[in-house]
Structure 1
Amino acid sequence: MPVKVFISHKKEDAEQASAISAHLIANGLTVYLDVIDAQLGKSGPDLADYIRSQMDKCTQLLAVISPQTQASWWVPWEIGVATEKERFLASFVSGGAAVPEYLVKWPYLRTRADLDIYVRESKRAELLVEDRIQKGYRTAARAQGFRSFHTSLKASLGQP
């Protein structure tokens, strides 16, 4: 499955999420961004099921974290679903927000240059997954790519 990034964000951060989306697309990644999804008129369990189905089509999740995110129910839920599905996970922290304690173990980005590193590491990890699948290691391929992505991205960003 080629790289497809689910961008999780609070509605108030839609402009930031759209800018991130445009940058990722311009650098060769595919993106799911709910701002342009007409199906989001659903509510409650139907909406949750729909979001899960969209996440099933994605290989990773990039959460936009801002001061407004603290008031969100959906962003933490989407992060939880992505973790459960072993999706590659990172955050883009903006607006002077602090990285929430439960996200410190995952890579976090702050700048456009960090996004470029994210794109590079995403492509590299996906090539690793594809290589492992071609060599017959389908079951372990995604998990190995998952670990490799997080380790390499954190190291490239200078994070412990």
Structure 2
Amino acid sequence: MALNRYYSSTKYESRSKVLSLGVKCVFISHQQRDNHAAKKIADYLIGAGIDVYFDAYDGDLRIHHQSNDAKAVTDSIRKGINNSSHMLVLVSPNTLYSTWVPFEIGYGYDKTDLFVLCLEGIPKGGLPEYVRSATIIRDIWDINKFISNTLDREIEPLFESKKIFSHSNDNNPLSTVMDSLINESY
């Protein structure tokens, strides 16, 4: 069963250990104003069978933020990235005002496989320059392909087992935070 990596008793200090053990964990990078959308995406990935590191579930990080302990916040973020194989950067208009997202990308750039997820309504040219070199996840179809590729499983059995939901399914939990399908030619 997938989990939030923060709750795991096993913590890794380097990506090489994560990779050598075959751990697949996605670090969710987002601006705090997008916390609701980030939680939906984190929960969707967990439901699909992928471990995540999501800061809202990290009680230590919350305490460090409240006590304005910048070094402890930075250390918590670094540990989360070190325990991750992938980084998913959520982009919305709020991202432009984030002080932590650029740090997370910079720290994780060479340590994780970097992906950028566009939240609902982000126009094609609306991405900040510092994320344009990453693989872009523009819609629900794309995140389902990301999950399929990350798990190294065919997409149809994931639909059949209800691990993921079609972009056209009205009950898809991501339909309120992501576009359904940008490019109908898929």
**TM-score interval for Structure 1 and Structure 2 normalised by the shorter chain:** 0.7 to 0.9
- Give the ranges of 4+ consecutive aligned residues of structure 1 lying more than 4 Å apart after TM superposition: none
Aligned to 1:68: 94
Given residue 35 of structure 1, which amino acid in structure 2 is its aligned partner?
A
Partner of 2:27: 6
Structure number with greater Rg is: 2
CA apart distance, 1:119 = 0.8
Distance 1:51 1:81 in 2: 9
Deviations along 1:37-70, whole A, 9 cap, x unmatched? 1111212111101210121111111011100010
Q: Any residues of structure 2 matched to 1:1-160 within 5 Å, and which?
A: 1-40=22-61, 41-42=63-64, 43-85=69-111, 87-97=112-122, 98-124=126-152
* Cα separation, 2, equivalents of 1:21 and 1:113: 16
Cα distance in 1 for partners of 2:87, 2:35 equals 16
- Distance (Å, rounded) in 2 between the aligned partners of 1:58 and 1:82: 9
The two structures have a TM-score, normalised by structure 1, of 0.72
- Which structure shows the bigger proportion of residues in helix conformation? 1
- Alignment check: 8 A CA contact 2:96 2:128 kept: no
SS of the residue corresponding to residue 58 of structure 1 reads coil
8 Å Cα contact 1:67-1:95 kept in structure 2: no
Residues 63-107 of structure 1: per-residue CA shift (max 9 Å, x gap): 11100010101011101111132x011011124331222222211
Runs (5+) with no aligned partner, structure 2: 1-21, 153-182
Matched residues, percent identical?
Answer: 31
- Taking structure 2 as the reference length, the TM-score comes to 0.63
Describe the SS at the equivalent of 1:84: coil
Q: Structure 1 residue 109: deviation in Å?
A: 1.2
Q: Which runs of 5+ in 1 are unaligned?
A: 125-156
The number of residues matched between the two structures is 125
